[in-house]
Amino acid sequence: MSVDTDNQTPDTGHLRTQELIRFDKVTKRFGDNTVLDGLDFRVEPGKHVTLIGPSGSGKTTILRLLMTLAKPDEGTITVAGERLFPAEEKQIREVRKKIGMVFQQFNLFPNMKVLRNITEAPVTVLGLSRDEAEERARELLDLVGLADKCDAYPGQLSGGQQQRVAIARALAMRPRVLLLDEVTSALDPELVAGVLDVLRDIARTTDITMLCVTHEMNFARDISDQVLMFDSGHVIEAGPPERMFGDPEHERTREFLSAVL
């Protein structure tokens, strides 16, 4: 992976801040199915990394491990130099605050208005006052183009609007890392562009590290610093989007891209 030359620190062992996310020899099994097999994986701060690869190759599993929605069987996961796995519950909760996720199915709280969907976690988890949380929520709704939807319920919004609320909700926690798992796959085609535009904006105007699973290859090409091709739980090829899409080395990558492009 590339190195940030403007962010070099002397290599004194503990100052290895070049990686915000680090998987070391991570293995994840479901019964007899070894989904990730000794995976080593790094993401540098502020980078936008896209995971591509066939269905079932383990992309969602990687994001779920980072969200602590699943636990590895072996290996270590570190975020911003702090252990996420294995670690004590208290530490896991702290590290977990650095990470936000948006899912394919928006997973909004259906019984809460839009504003409350966004303020809930900042109030209960971060301890913000309701006023502070609402101010932050309104700014974010503005960013995602939904300033007028504060008082709507999720069920009154289109899928694209719900997904933009879900993005605002994730950002309200001021995460260092935003995980995006096929966030436009469940949307009607005409609603996809609006969501991708919001994400392009976030990629351009914030320093949030993004780890993205998508089949939207034009979007991936626009926002990614690096694209990783996954197959059977392994990174089989990685590189900048120009090369990965323009001149992939691996036969498997070529096959996959010709099927989706």
Ligand X SMILES: Nc1ncnc2c1ncn2[C@@H]1O[C@H](COP(=O)(O)OP(=O)(O)O)[C@@H](O)[C@H]1O
CA distance 261 to 12: 44
Listed residue (96, 98, 118, 211) closest to 164, CA to CA: 118
Binding of Mg ion at residue 184 (CB under 5 A)?
no
Whether 257 and 245 have beta carbons less than 8 Å apart is answered as yes
The only residue of 12, 55, 205, 258 in contact with ligand X, by rule CB under 6 A:
55
Binding of ligand X at residue 122 (CB under 6 A)?
no
Residue 60 or 214 with smaller CB distance to Mg ion: 60
Q: Total residues contacting ligand X (rule CB under 6 A)?
A: 10
Binding of ligand X at residue 33 (CB under 6 A)?
yes
Residue 59 or 136 with smaller CB distance to ligand X: 59
Binding of ligand X at residue 149 (CB under 6 A)?
no
Q: Sign of the C-alpha dihedral, residues 175, 139, 160, 217?
A: negative
Residue 13 or 31 with smaller CB distance to ligand X: 31
CA distance 70 to 157: 30
Binding of Mg ion at residue 162 (CB under 5 A)?
no
Binding of Mg ion at residue 60 (CB under 5 A)?
yes
Residue 23 or 116 with smaller CB distance to ligand X: 23
Closest approach of ligand X to the CB of residue 38, in Å: 16
What are the backbone dihedrals phi and psi of residue 54, each rounded to the nearest 5 degrees, phi first? -65, 160
Closest approach of ligand X to the CB of residue 82, in Å: 24
56 binds, among ligand X, Mg ion, none (CB under 5 to 8 A by kind): ligand X
Binding of ligand X at residue 224 (CB under 6 A)?
no
258 binds, among Mg ion, ligand X, none (CB under 5 to 8 A by kind): none
From residue 216, alpha-carbon distances to 51, 115, 182, 199, 241 in Å are 11, 29, 9, 12, 13
Binding of ligand X at residue 71 (CB under 6 A)?
no
Beta-strand relationship, 99-102 and 177-181: parallel
CA distance 255 to 15: 40
Angle at 162 between CA 188 and CA 56, to 5 degrees: 60
Residues with Cβ within 8 Å of residue 110, at least 6 apart in sequence:
153, 154, 155
58 binds, among Mg ion, ligand X, none (CB under 5 to 8 A by kind): ligand X
Written as six digits, the tokens of 41 are 């994986």
Would you give the binding string for Mg ion spanning residues 3-42, x where CB under 5 A is met? ----------------------------------------
- 41-74 exposure pattern, b = at least 16 Cβ within 10 A, e = fewer: bbbbbebbbbbbbbeebbbbbbbbbbbbebebee
Binding of ligand X at residue 30 (CB under 6 A)?
yes
Closest approach of Mg ion to the CB of residue 209, in Å: 20
Interaction site with ligand X (CB under 6 A): 30, 33, 35, 55-61
Interaction site with Mg ion (CB under 5 A): 60
